Amino acid sequence: MINEKNKNISVGVKSSYLEHESEPLKARYLFAYTITIKNVGSAAARLLSRYWKITGGDGREQEVEGDGVVGQHPYLSPEDEFTYTSAAMLDTPVGMMQGHYMMVDDHGDRFEVLIPPFTLAVPKTLH
């Protein structure tokens, strides 16, 4: 059974533009994002998979699904947190990401944890 609630898992995101690894003349803008997943509840859970919807400034969308995050399936006991950094390539200087993690608690119940939308933007592109 899949539960739509976050089950007391919080998600924080910070993003940054990787200027030295981007090629604007070739419409290649690379962004890093660091995610912190924290268990603020009283029951442990393991991250199983991820789903991302990445939207470029031109409205084009790409979807990415995969097993775990950065090759791991972190197990979060109450008050534990897991932080990782990954990257996304856009062909526009501004975009957005959002998605969810699929997790499972110790009782075998699966649930989604929403990843709030966040902006990817070259500095000084947005006002």
pLDDT digits (tens, 9 = 90+) for 15-71: 999 999 999 999 999 999 999 999 999 999 999 999 999 999 999 999 999 999 999
Question: What are the residue ranges spanned by the domains of the chain?
Answer: 2-121
Q: What is the mean pLDDT of the chain?
A: 93
Residues 121 and 33: their CA atoms lie apart, in Å, by: 11
Confirm or reject CATH 3.30.70.20 for domain 2-121, answering yes or no.
no
Per DSSP, the three-state class of 20 is: helix
Per-residue model confidence (pLDDT) at position 125: 75
> Using one digit for the tens of pLDDT, what is the confidence trace for 79-108?
999 999 999 999 999 999 999 999 999 999
On whether the CB atoms of residues 105 and 45 are closer than 8 A, the answer is yes
Q: Is the dihedral of CA 122, 124, 125, 127 positive or negative?
A: positive
Kindly tell me the number of DSSP H helices and DSSP E strands found in the chain: 0, 9
Q: Is the pTM of this model over 0.75?
A: yes
Q: What is the residue-wise DSSP string for 94-115?
A: EEEEEEEEEEEETTS-EEEEEE
Q: Is the pLDDT of residue 2 over 60?
A: no
Tokens, residue 72? 């791991």
